[in-house]
Amino acid sequence: MNRILAVFVSLVAAIALTFTTAQAAPRKPAAVHVHIDIGSQTMSVRVNGFPYAHWRVSTARKGYYTPRGSFGVTRTAKVYYSRKYDNSPMPNSVFFHGGYAIHGTGYIRSLGRPASHGCVRLHPSNAAKLYSLVHRYGTKRTRITLTD
């Protein structure tokens, strides 16, 4: 009887270890890396470790703030209008921290210098490309980093 119990306990332990190992498996690394350099007002995008694009952006102007840090994508919206700022259009929005997003803008003359209320503004065609990349590789495999 003790031998049967020992075999049963060993079997249960092996099954538990298998499930624990499967659940603890590491997630796939981010495929899309977005780096926003607030000091130079630029964005670099890498896909699977390879350079994809380098674009001018606009982040927060004086009196406003763009968060710094490393974030995942919280949600996306192909068509979005800011409820906080006069229903301003935010096409191809990639949200990364609360209401902060990377999105297209009609104020393309301002790109390359601080001009926003805190979001990261991009040329509309570049915002569409980024939005497409995020959806192609997945929101869970996209990382957004903002530094000074």
- Find the distance separating the first CA and the last CA of the chain, reported in whole Å: 68
- Quick check: is 91 in a domain? yes
Domain for residue 6, yes or no?
Answer: no
In a domain, 65, yes or no: yes
83-112 confidence digits (pLDDT tens) = 887 889 999 999 999 999 999 999 999 999
Q: Is residue 128 part of a domain?
A: yes
Report whether pLDDT(131) > 70.
Answer: yes
Task: Provide the domain count of the chain.
Answer: 1
Q: What is the CATH number of the domain that holds 49?
A: 2.40.440.10
Q: Which domain holds residue 78?
A: 32-147
Rounded to whole angstroms, how far apart are CA atoms 89 and 93? Answer: 10
Per-residue pLDDT of 3-20, as tens digits, reads 565 545 554 555 555 554
What's the alpha-carbon Rg for the chain, to the nearest Å?
Answer: 22
